[in-house]
Amino acid sequence: MMFRLAKAEEKRRIRVRITGMDCYSCSLVLDKTLKGIRGIKRVWVSYVLDTVFVEFDPKVIDEDKILRLIKERAGYEAFVHH
């Protein structure tokens, strides 16, 4: 009997700095903007840190697309913080 192992889903995490996020409502906008996007697995927003942590599948979506979504859909400037 032969078993096949399911391929492990590839995940990547990035820390995105946001310019102009200064309240809880801003963090809700960013959370709603990113959740439900194909390839994005988890989103955690901290307006105190001006940061969004994103866990995603790089085979489906990349960093540049995530940054574009933040700018186009939520209206914030964003950059990956390494």
Residue 5 has pLDDT above 80, yes or no: no
Please report the pLDDT score of residue 65 as a whole number.
Answer: 98
For residues 51 and 15, the answer to whether their CB atoms sit within 8 Å is yes
**Predicted model pTM:** 0.85
What distance in Å separates the CA atoms of residue 59 and residue 81, rounded to the nearest whole number? Answer: 21
Task: Indicate the domain borders of the chain.
Answer: 12-80
Overall CATH class of domain 12-80: alpha beta
What distance in Å separates the CA atoms of residue 80 and residue 8, rounded to the nearest whole number? Answer: 25
Q: Quick check: helix, strand or coil at residue 67?
A: helix
Element (H, E) at 29: helix 24-34
CA angle (54, 56, 75) in 5-degree steps: 50
pLDDT tens by residue, 63-73: 999 999 999 99
What distance in Å separates the CA atoms of residue 79 and residue 60, rounded to the nearest whole number? Answer: 19
